[in-house]
A and B are shown apart, each in its own frame.
Chain A
Amino acid sequence: MSHSGAFLYDAPGPRARRRILLGSVVSALVLAGVFALALVQFGRTGQLDADRWTPFLDWPIWSYLLVGLRGTALAAALVAVLAGTFGVLLAIGRLSRNRPLRWLSTGYIEVARTIPVLLLIYLMLFGLPAYGINLPVLWKLVVPLTIANAAVVAEIVRAGVLALPRGQMEAALSLGIRRSQAMRFVVLPQALRHVTPSLVTQLVSLIKDTSLGYVVAFTELLYRAQVLSAYNRLLIQTFLVVALVYLVFNGALSYLAARLRTRVRRQVAPPSGPAEQAADRELETPVVR
């Protein structure tokens, strides 16, 4: 299988190959045309002038931005650890047989999934200080992101647990170990391995979310980009460069997620029943925020 859509059509014959070639040429021309149009527009407004780009060859500018990237990594790492822990606990809670615990976890997940992070950040910034709750800037970013991401992680983990054949839990229980132990030592480790790709994808999403540090004036990449652009007035260049940094950084992680996904899929036996098929589908769904 050369690409994801390849199974949709036969190996092309001579006529189809000619048509594909024609299609390639036409679409390449159209895409190049659009790109050229953009370049012409940029060139006409002087945005391509060398002196608007050369500042980004200077090390001090990069060191300035890299300090921001370090802040991004710090915030992302904190959220990943906190939301990861909290998320797994929530997933267990939602799968638990204890009704109040299940309801509480379910309620939290459903609420946290449907409130914009920015609203929580504004609450942290402008609301809570009135009640004497005023966290350091980093935590004004980390706490709202953790609240939101924990819910998403919980759903990913839960999907992983549900996708696991029931026999795993049953076999463990028949060995006489307690349900909580079976969860901890048999079900969760396997489930987590299955959902690792989705968790990495979620990590990308939360790294993107740390750009909200811009709102709370936390020194992360986008905030530094803002201060830099206010200073050098090279808005297009600064934001394009920063977007590229995000693309490289997150692109590498996304690539890792894709690699893991194929590996996990190869290791896991093909699903047998419709129920598991459905669960497997849920696993593959890109988690978005």
Chain B
Amino acid sequence: MSDIRLPRRRFPLITAVLATASVAVAGCGSSDSSSDAVPNGGGDDAAASGLEAVYEDAPVADDAAILPDSTMAEIKERGVLRVAAALDAPLLSQQDPSSPEDVEGFDIDLAKMLAIYILGEPNIEIVPPASETREALLQNGTVDAVFNTYTITEERAEQIDFAGPYFTSGLAVATRADNEDIDSVEDLNGKDVIVGANTPAVTAVPEVAPDAEVTSFATDPQAVQALLQGRGDAYVQDYTLLLAAAANNPDIKIAVQPFTEEPYGIGLPPEDAEYKEFVNDWLEQIQEDGSWSEIWEATLGTVVEGDAPTPPEIGSVPGS
């Protein structure tokens, strides 16, 4: 252990007292050295350094847009955007344990962009949600926004508001690389299928393959591990999560491309129309100025072939 690396402390941080793994995020990219502290890491350091320029040119809201007594004004006064996001979702929202301030990925980088839009700096505090508690976190004001592969549904839209959709994905099927039995969702019949607890796959799998034996695991890493160990033949999960898993694990492949359409929205507190409009405005701006695509390229784009997709049209989904 010749070179001991201390985590960088840019901002006075981790007010972890109240259980939120508070993470103040330094605006600059992470040091490349962090990756060899954790071998086989799922993080993508190159991506972060590529985004510095994006952050620098990120749009900042006019003072006029921050209406007095609005949610935006409240956030600005507080100086930090509180976000519900995962810490263990590679390429979407992954914490680097060797420097815990660095959380990177498509979801979380967008959250930082929103923070810049309101505050002028990417100052966010992350609350990792436990599965289906996201609506509650918004309703009781624990967080200002949810960036968490959060599918827009009409049921959820009755309880909270959605900005976006900002990305379209879907459920896909992953198997071990040497498995040749599964080419379509129908092939899941009679197989042991792993799903994430409380994810759309729990209900979607019985619909497309009624004879599948479903086992659910609490977290995505657990489910990936279970697939690798042969506790199931296939793992049905969101395409982006599976892509990240496959990118990290040569023993996993995507066997079936997305067979559902999951429009992801930014979860917002209910009945706050001006805040929703504000966030949608921001989303439109970063889509138009190309930063949305740049963030996609730096994160999900590293494992998907081809150019960045066209972002979905805002408000195009029932519930948004």
Contacts and interface: CB of A to CB of B under 8 A. Distances in A.
Given A134-B136, A230-B219, A232-B39, A60 B99 contact: yes
A227 B87 contact: yes
A61 B132 contact: no
B37 A58 contact: yes
A223 to B, nearest CB: 9
Nearest to A238: B97
B4 A218 contact: no
Interface in A114-145: 125-126, 129, 132, 134, 136-139, 141
B128 A233 contact: no
B19 A218 contact: yes
B18 A136 contact: yes
A139 B18 CA distance: 9
Given A58-B1, A60-B6, A228-B97, A67 B16 contact: yes
Contacts of A230: 42, 88, 219-221
Contacts of B38: 55, 61, 231-232
Interface string B124-141: 000111111101110110
Interface in A215-261: 215-219, 224, 226-235
A147 B125 CA distance: 30
Contacts of A132: 139
A199 to B, nearest CB: 26
Interface string A52-67: 1011011111011001
Interface string A187-222: 000000000000000000000000000011111000
Nearest to B16: A219
Contact of B130 (A71, A137, A227): A137
B136 A129 contact: yes
Contact of B88 (A67, A137, A231): A231
Given A55-B38, A233-B248, A125 B87 contact: no
Given A55-B39, A58-B5, A217-B130, A138 B88 contact: no
A272 to B, nearest CB: 51
Contacts of A137: 18-20, 127, 130
Interface string B10-40: 0000101111110000000000001001111
Contacts of B98: 58, 60-61, 64
Interface residues of A, number: 41
B4 A231 contact: no
Interface in B68-123: 87-88, 94-100
A287 interface: no
Contacts of B219: 226, 230
Given A134-B139, A232-B97, A60 B5 contact: yes
Nearest to B127: A137
A279 interface: no
A17 to B, nearest CB: 47
A58 B188 CA distance: 44
Which secondary structure dominates chain B's binding surface?
loop
B97 A60 contact: yes
A134 B19 contact: no
B40 to A, nearest CB: 5
Nearest to A126: B132
A51 interface: yes
A227 B87 CA distance: 7
A179 interface: no
A101 interface: no
Contact of A136 (B7, B99, B142, B220): B142
Contacts of B14: 67
Contacts of B206: none
B225 interface: yes
A89 interface: no
Q: Which of B130, B139, B225, B248 has the most CB of A within 10 A?
A: B130
Contacts of A234: 39-40
Given A60-B6, A231-B42, A219 B95 contact: no
B210 interface: no
A100 to B, nearest CB: 36
A66 B87 CA distance: 17
A74 interface: yes
A70 interface: yes
B5 A129 contact: no
Contacts of A216: 130
A165 B95 CA distance: 58
Given A61-B98, A215-B130, A234-B40, 7 more contacts: A55-B38, A58-B1, A59-B5, A226-B221, A230-B42, A230-B220, A231-B94
10 A-B pairs closest in CB distance: A230-B221, A138-B19, A137-B19, A129-B136, A60-B98, A57-B1, A217-B130, A230-B88, A134-B136, A64-B97
8 contacts: A58-B1, A59-B1, A59-B4, A64-B98, A217-B130, A227-B97, A231-B88, A231-B94
Interface of A: 51-52, 54-55, 57-61, 63-64, 67, 70-71, 74, 125-126, 129, 132, 134, 136-139, 141, 215-219, 224, 226-235
